[in-house]
Structure 1
Amino acid sequence: MTRLAIIDLGSNSARLIVMHIYHNGAYNLVYHQKEPVRLSEGMSKEGWLQPPAMERAIATLKIFAHMCRLFAADQILAVATAAVRTAENGRDFLTRVQEETGIQFEVISGETEALLGYIGVINTIDIKDGLLFDLGGGSTELTLVRDRKPVQVISLPFGAVFLTERFKTEDRVTEAQLIQLRQFVLQHLDQIPWIRKLNLPLVGVGGTARNIAKMDQKRKNYPFNKLHNYRLGRLSFEDLWKTLLATTLNQRRKLPGLSAERADIIVAGSTIVKCLFDISQGTHLIISGCGVREGLFFQNYLPRQGEAEIIEDILSHSTENMLYFYKGHIDHARHVTHLATCLFDSLQAIHGLDSRMRSLLRVATQLHDIGITISYYDHPRHSAYLVENARVFGLTHREQMMAAVVAGWHNGLTKFVRNRIYGEFFDEADWQAVRKMALFLALAESLDTTQMQLIPDIAVYLSEQKATLHLLGSNPAPIERQSAERHIRWFRKEMGMDMVLE
């Protein structure tokens, strides 16, 4: 096993993640720590890192070094961004950091920072075209993505901390301050011709974007505690932005979802987002919980596995990673997936589900048994919980919950979904789709009850009154057949016809 620690020292925050890469190639996040260091505080006037800010950062990095030792990190990848990059004494500061903590930092350019953020986002969010922004304390990186490729990149020399200090927007903001702030940001954006009138989604990385999502979730009583791939419309964002403008610092500190440590810089940060919406005519905002740190990880991990830095199919990749991480029965999972998708395809004319539902079915079937790692007894329910919370990328929150319920029903419909959040996400059409997909999974699971792949394939023939499932193979497989026959009533209820096994 390889233990990889990654540190991102930004202008506002310092972050540490520890990733484990296991012998079978699976990887998993095992630790995350974030501390507000405000390294760029006071820099806007003099261009020098100030002693109090450096002391805060070094104290935090000493803790990070301790955690790296505690987790027995084999390698530490540490990068410093805008504050150190632009400071006159940035190099001297990093020399002191290495002497006192043993951590050697690399100062990365704005373009490299944008590239790493792009790698972190594009490998974890299923988006083809969009305007990515990484809004930090001292800089803002913009990347235009077309067909999943970065076609334009720029680093702007301002962020939430920088603008807050320059325009004094810590407390209540006057109309004059807001006009000056917006003019400053828009003047910079006006010089970038390729961001105008894009009509694309904005994808936000960084603390400002995450806090926007947290506040919006609280305002809407959002029942799922997950930020990555959370989406909000332009009108929702603008309503939230106007609320922030009308508050004092003390009032903002009490706003649900807003971190108290970010209450003084959120007006400047959200105004940058507002300007990006205005000039690009953004359609909506997508929040990414992954950025530079995950970009560094993928840049380091994927070549080791003989893969390119950009994963072609992030849903399949992340699902398979979860299967290997939970040490599932690989052959059984893949065979059940094959049989379930065969049923889905053969019965397309009856069930009427689209190709997206087929993808959800494949996720659920591959991960349907991972709950055994908690307990074999009632493992479908445990599988549902794990699928719901797994780092499966490429699904919306609603889709991930649908896959979770399908996995939880692979032994038949049970009542584990009562009093859960699923009902707040699903409408009746969703429930119908989930029941049909769960039926296909349950049948496929039954047809490999012994996990010996005795039924290598099935052929389905439809008539007006019944569906005949031909179980192909030389072995009679009586256990599989008997298990599958228990679902005849369920099949009749969902499909509206009888099922016959031959």
Structure 2
Amino acid sequence: MKKWAVIDIGSNTIRLVIYIETINHFYKEVENIKAVARLRKYLNEENVLSNEGVQKCLTILKGFKEIIDFNGINEVKCVATATIRQAVNKSDVLERVKGVLGFDIQILSEEEEAYLGFLAVVNTTAVKDGVTIDIGGGSTEITYYENKKLVQFHSFPFGVVSLKEKFMGGSRMTNDERMALQKMVLEAFESLPWLKNKQIPIVAIGGSARNIAQVHQHLKNYPLAGIHQYGMSPDDLHNILQMMESMEVTEIEKLEGLSKDRADIILPAIEVFDMLCKYVQATRFIFSKRGLREGILYKEKAGGKNPSDFILENSIDHLVRDYGIEEGHSDHVAWLAKQIYFELSNVFGNKTNEYSDRLIEQSARIYYIGQYVDSDVSSQHTFNLLAHQSIDGITHKERLILALIASYKNWALLKQYSTPFIEWFSKGELKDIRIAGSMVKLASALDSSKRMLVKKIKVQKRQDELVFQLSCVGNTFVEQYQAEKQIRHLEKSLKYKIILEFISDR
């Protein structure tokens, strides 16, 4: 497979990410290697990057080059952000890197850095109107977008490393230091009147944001994996800030979810996040695992085209292909599930459950995806695979619903899977998931032979019975047998007797 590498030379860390190009021309991350450099510390008051700093950068890049050469990668995108951008001797730095290692470094402008973060967010989350913030080691990029269109951007020449150096002299921030930091940050935000009182979500990018999300998840014993699209309230964020303000760095280091190399710089980051939430009057504080590097990926490999409205659908496409699901069968089961959903909605005069046909359709496309691991326990594997991996374009609760529907086997297992999340759902919601799972289970049975023989579904209500008229082509003996076995799940969830009428249209 063709491989492609991105090197991101940041002010705090330098990172190498390796992607492989899949058969559908999608690039999948296979390696992600980080080295803490703290280059911002080597930039003096005259903005000269010291020889020690340059040498540290070269040492890390040399190690990355060995990995790149080992993997036989010919295409490498190497970018640098705030520290190199601010260095007055940046030309010399670029020449040394080029001469020693052969890497051509592109220094991203403030606008480019902000845009790439925005591009990653709008291509991987469902937040249509929002503010993004990416706090690096030496700069902070903020954007405001509406309907996934960039409206405003700004880059501040401060980041977590420079804020720590300026406002945190010891192992704890003093009250005077905190007040000075808050005054400086507030003045910075007030220079952006287009941010004030927007009352929309904030989407935070970068390592500091990721660590805060992980800490919050550990504090509340969060039962799902992954921080991409994980959200918390501004009050939750403020509570974490208050907790850390009272702690020494040695105590912060012990917090579960926090990287030890960020313990001394996390507090300035949370101060900035907290103040931004208040300035924006944010409705939610959401974390994006996708950031600058993914923005580069979308710009370089997807042509920088406008973000799709079908982020979830594209994510499911990748799962279908990654796990070797037969696409024709997957699409037909999804179509059957939608037909059942719409027919039942029409019969009952309202929606049969509160979940959109979109979630039902996408669940059907990956129904029992866990067969890839073990067909004997495919339901359990399906639930675990889907519930505990990032799926772009949906919230964590929607991802859980997707997993519960796609893994539906019976009511007993649904209750078992949902037990750790009992506070997430009302009884009515679980009933709706049961109905949706039963519909998808029947849809899968109606294409048991994977020949797409059922072409039309019509549902009629006759007294206390529901009659499914199934127009078919060919011999549907397999579908009839499996559907008759599985129909009882939908009968129990709807509390109606169901009659299946297979009508051959030869």
**Normalising to structure 2: TM-score of the pair?**
0.93
Moved more, 138-147 or 423-432: 423-432
Residue of structure 2 in register with 1:106 after alignment: 106
| 1:471 is the counterpart of 2:470 | yes
| 1:361 is the counterpart of 2:360 | yes
Cα shift readout 1:375-403 (whole Å, capped 9, x = no counterpart): 34333333333222444211111221221
Offset at residue 446 of structure 1 (A): 0.8
Report if the CA contact (8 A) 1:14-1:36 is conserved: yes
- The whole-number CA distance in structure 2 between the counterparts of 1:376 and 1:67 is 37
Could you tell me which amino acid in structure 2 is paired with residue 217 of structure 1?
A: Q
Identity %: 29
- The whole-number CA distance in structure 2 between the counterparts of 1:352 and 1:471 is 21
- The whole-number CA distance in structure 1 between the counterparts of 2:20 and 2:422 is 35
| 1:316 is the counterpart of 2:288 | no
Residue of structure 2 in register with 1:57 after alignment: 57
1:120-131 equivalent positions in 2, closer than 5 A: 120-131=120-131
CA change 1:170–1:201 in 2 (3 A) is farther
Could you tell me which amino acid in structure 2 is paired with residue 434 of structure 1?
A: I
Residue of structure 2 in register with 1:492 after alignment: 491
- The whole-number CA distance in structure 2 between the counterparts of 1:218 and 1:155 is 32
CA change 1:7–1:195 in 2 (3 A) is same
Q: SS of the counterpart of 2:302?
A: helix
Q: SS of the counterpart of 1:462?
A: strand
Report if the CA contact (8 A) 2:226-2:389 is conserved: no
Offset at residue 245 of structure 1 (A): 1.7
Offset at residue 417 of structure 1 (A): 7.1
Offset at residue 414 of structure 1 (A): 6.4
Gaps of 5+ in 1: none
Report if the CA contact (8 A) 1:322-1:390 is conserved: no
Residue of structure 1 in register with 2:323 after alignment: 326
CA change 1:314–1:96 in 2 (3 A) is same
Offset at residue 423 of structure 1 (A): 4.5
Residue of structure 2 in register with 1:71 after alignment: 71
Moved more, 267-276 or 386-395: 386-395
Cα shift readout 1:48-77 (whole Å, capped 9, x = no counterpart): 223333333222222222222233324111
Residue of structure 1 in register with 2:504 after alignment: none
Report if the CA contact (8 A) 2:167-2:173 is conserved: no
**Normalising to structure 1: TM-score of the pair?**
0.94
The count of residues paired between Structure 1 and Structure 2 equals: 498
Q: SS of the counterpart of 1:158?
A: coil
1:192-211 equivalent positions in 2, closer than 5 A: 192-211=192-211
Report if the CA contact (8 A) 1:170-1:249 is conserved: no
Could you tell me which amino acid in structure 2 is paired with residue 296 of structure 1?
A: I
- The whole-number CA distance in structure 1 between the counterparts of 2:170 and 2:102 is 35
CA change 1:60–1:463 in 2 (3 A) is farther
Q: SS of the counterpart of 2:224?
A: coil
| 1:237 is the counterpart of 2:275 | no
Cα shift readout 1:193-223 (whole Å, capped 9, x = no counterpart): 1011111111100111111111111221112
Q: SS of the counterpart of 2:449?
A: coil
- The whole-number CA distance in structure 1 between the counterparts of 2:429 and 2:148 is 29
Residue of structure 2 in register with 1:291 after alignment: 291
Offset at residue 353 of structure 1 (A): 4.7
Cα shift readout 1:217-252 (whole Å, capped 9, x = no counterpart): 122111223111111101111111112222222222
Report if the CA contact (8 A) 1:170-1:264 is conserved: no
Report if the CA contact (8 A) 2:3-2:75 is conserved: yes
Report if the CA contact (8 A) 1:173-1:246 is conserved: no
Cα shift readout 1:6-33 (whole Å, capped 9, x = no counterpart): 1211111112221211223343221112
Report if the CA contact (8 A) 1:44-1:166 is conserved: no
1:98-497 equivalent positions in 2, closer than 5 A: 98-303=98-303, 308-348=305-345, 350=348, 352-353=351-352, 356-409=355-408, 412=410, 415=413, 418=416, 421-423=420-422, 425-497=424-496
Q: SS of the counterpart of 1:347?
A: helix
Offset at residue 128 of structure 1 (A): 0.9
Report if the CA contact (8 A) 1:298-1:309 is conserved: no
Residue of structure 2 in register with 1:90 after alignment: 90
CA change 1:384–1:258 in 2 (3 A) is same
- The whole-number CA distance in structure 1 between the counterparts of 2:224 and 2:264 is 27
